[in-house]
Structure 1
Amino acid sequence: MNYRNETAELDSLYALAREEQKNSRKRFMVWAGGDAPNQQDQLYQQFKKRFPGIDIEIVVDLSKYHDLKIYQQLNDGFLEADVTMLQTLNDFENWKQMDVLEPFKPAGLKHIRKSYSDPDGHYIGAFIFAFLPQYAKEGVGFTPKNYRDFLNPVFKDKLVMTPPHDDDAVLYVFDHIIQKYGIEFLHELKSLNPVFVRGTAAPAALVGQKGFLGNIVGYPTYPDQPSQSFIPEDEFFITWAQRAAMFKLTQNKACARLFLAYLASHEFQSSRGTWSTRTDVTELGGLQPLETYKNTDPLDFIVWMRDRKRIHELRSLFTDIFGEVKGESPLKDPSLLRVYYNTL
């Protein structure tokens, strides 16, 4: 397939962004949802290399913190972020209804799967994210196949996990676990004395280190890691399309359009090595096309995120069983920063 139209669009938008930067007093700012400061380093480097001269900053913070700031600033009539990319998918639908988003339809939009993006161009499906269970390559003694395997006594005092009531995507996975195994699963899990660490990045990085043997809701792993992730057999796992958008209050609109067009492009999407929001990108690393997996549905997470009453009830349930979430923000805790940058 020929992508010259996408390349031409990027070249044109780049020229406009360069011109805009000459007259702008404000750095092009992207607010990205995440829980480790280095999570968008690859995107930052790719964008800087592809579009030299564009003064970009990507600020990573929890989506539930970014969105509150955005609502506050929208109310004040001033917005720091030019583009935002968040896990709180329902926010984008709210902002569309509020008529605060700036529509833009990059050339790559037509290749993004239906329902990942807004048909009117108010937001796009930028990335596919997935959480998978992880176990240490040494010390477990068997190969886990499903979530219930993590209730094995070998994991006593050796599970490291994100507090489910601190991250909606993790909470979503546990909602499915409860639907299958009942609340008793949570009480059995509590009896194993899991160690809760805020954020999703640090627990995923710690499996196979410091004596930790498992994480029920972790990250897809690479071959050189001391842990192994897997797709559960006959059990649901989470995938979702992280959304991105610009606003009517966006000050660097040319830069924002360039950034969104790049996110939607085949050039960028094919560089990620994992599932793509586009229909024309081939999966790497032994992955099958996302639609062939019968135990995941990226659109289901969007529906679930709209049910704020259910989410509140689940958070209360986990608080009752496991207690309040404790610890500093994962982006401010010095001990977690050492985990992110592999300096344990």
Structure 2
Amino acid sequence: MLKGIIAGLLALALLSAPAFAADEATMRAAKKEGKVTWYSSITLNIAQHICNNFNKKKMGVQCVLHRDGSGKLYRRYLQERKGGIYVADVVHTSNLGHFLNLKAKKIITPYKPAGTDNFNAKFVTKDNYWTILRAGVLMPFYNTKKISAKDAPKTYKDFLDPKWKGKIVHSHPSYSGFVTNGMINIVNKFGWDYYKAMAKQKPKIVQSAAGGIPLVARGEAWLGAGTTSYSLLKLIEKGEPLKPIVPPTGLALVTSPNGVFTKAPNPNAARVFTDYLFSIETMQLLADYFLYVGNPDVKYPKALPPLNKINLMAIGGAELKKKNKPTRKMFKKLFGV
């Protein structure tokens, strides 16, 4: 009788334990640390959703979120490091060039998240310095109440038609790694003449990659030069008068890495949280938000086109790293902001 009760309790404990849980020693150490600080550039509502879900597990580790743009997070960490201040444990942004710098300086440390053995090869790295948490495309779009499908731009160069002057919104690459990545791909395709002409269109400039969506939805701007596909598709699902534009020359693919800092003040909690980020629970949550993930077992919304059905523009990390700073500098010069 007693053996049966004990066996039942053990089975219940196993069922209630998180599927992503690290080994017992790491879990004990993580509980002693008590928290994990996540520097993340994913949109605030998604970042909060992830942190809240993690905290609901009540594992004795609290997720503390600091959400900002990729560029600001990168500069913030380097400034803190310069002053000998170490706050962040885990970092996630859309600027692969920054991660190459962090790796070269040994600011991030290798860690392979649990459960990633069967991930799409494009979402993992051989040396495990980072794993791609999510991917999306930089997607142009328009307000369907202001522009008919017939009149809407079909190509990138259609945005340069004088009739759209003052009616476009563009995000700033110094703030958004997503936009920096997208711009580098577009410049590779069309050269800087494209952005020189875009500057003459006098677009409204916003910070974040998703910052232009509300302006277009309200009709303050009619067109968005490019935004995070996941934010756009989610709002279209909710009924906003918006429609994506898919130019035949392709959309810029943006992959967003996640890594653990070498001097994380809570290294064990960092590993536990990273395992959670790549668990099927979080992977499915991200897919529900119209993001592409490495786990092959998630189910995507019907409105999200498979990556293999999209003509993609994508360049390597080394080129992204090389062109990061010059792209931001040229944007400031051309647009005056």
Same fold (TM over 0.5): yes
Question: Partner of 2:139 in structure 1?
Answer: 132
**Residues 1:261 and 2:261 are matched in the alignment:** no
Question: Alignment length, in residue pairs?
Answer: 314
Inter-partner Cα distance in structure 1 for 2:219 and 2:182: 25
**Residues 1:120 and 2:127 are matched in the alignment:** yes
Asked whether the 8 Å contact 2:115–2:278 carries over to 1, the reply is yes
Question: Partner of 1:60 in structure 2?
Answer: 67
Asked whether the 8 Å contact 1:14–1:51 carries over to 2, the reply is no
Q: 1:279 to 1:317 in 2, by over 3 A?
A: same
Asked whether the 8 Å contact 1:95–1:101 carries over to 2, the reply is yes
Asked whether the 8 Å contact 2:141–2:243 carries over to 1, the reply is yes
Inter-partner Cα distance in structure 2 for 1:316 and 1:97: 23
Q: Deviations over 1:126-171 (max 9, x none)?
A: 1113321110011113233222222334423221221345544324
**Residues 1:163 and 2:178 are matched in the alignment:** no
Aligned pair partner of 2:319 in 296, 304, 308? 304
Q: Quick one: which amino acid aligns to residue 266 of structure 2?
A: N
Inter-partner Cα distance in structure 1 for 2:98 and 2:196: 33
DSSP-derived class of the 1:108 partner: coil
Instruction: Give the % identical residues.
Output: 21
Question: Partner of 1:286 in structure 2?
Answer: 303
DSSP-derived class of the 1:57 partner: strand
Asked whether the 8 Å contact 2:89–2:265 carries over to 1, the reply is yes
Aligned pair partner of 1:212 in 189, 204, 221? 221
Question: Partner of 2:152 in structure 1?
Answer: 143
Asked whether the 8 Å contact 1:40–1:60 carries over to 2, the reply is yes
Inter-partner Cα distance in structure 1 for 2:110 and 2:174: 33
- How far 1:231 sits from its partner (Å)? 4.9
Q: 1:322 to 1:83 in 2, by over 3 A?
A: same
Q: Deviations over 1:96-148 (max 9, x none)?
A: 34344343323322123224333233221111133211100111132332222
Q: Quick one: which amino acid aligns to residue 143 of structure 2?
A: A
Asked whether the 8 Å contact 2:35–2:269 carries over to 1, the reply is no
Asked whether the 8 Å contact 2:40–2:93 carries over to 1, the reply is yes
TM-score, normalised to structure 2, is 0.79
RMSD across aligned positions (CA):
3.1
Moved more, 283-292 or 250-259: 283-292
Asked whether the 8 Å contact 1:18–1:53 carries over to 2, the reply is no
Q: Map 1:186-335 to 2 at 5 A.
A: 186-220=195-229, 221=232, 222-272=236-286, 273=288, 274=290, 275-297=292-314, 300=315, 302-307=317-322, 310-323=323-336, 325=337
Q: Deviations over 1:174-207 (max 9, x none)?
A: 3444454454433433333211122222212221
Structure 2 unmatched ranges of 5 or more: 1-13
- How far 1:32 sits from its partner (Å)? 0.9
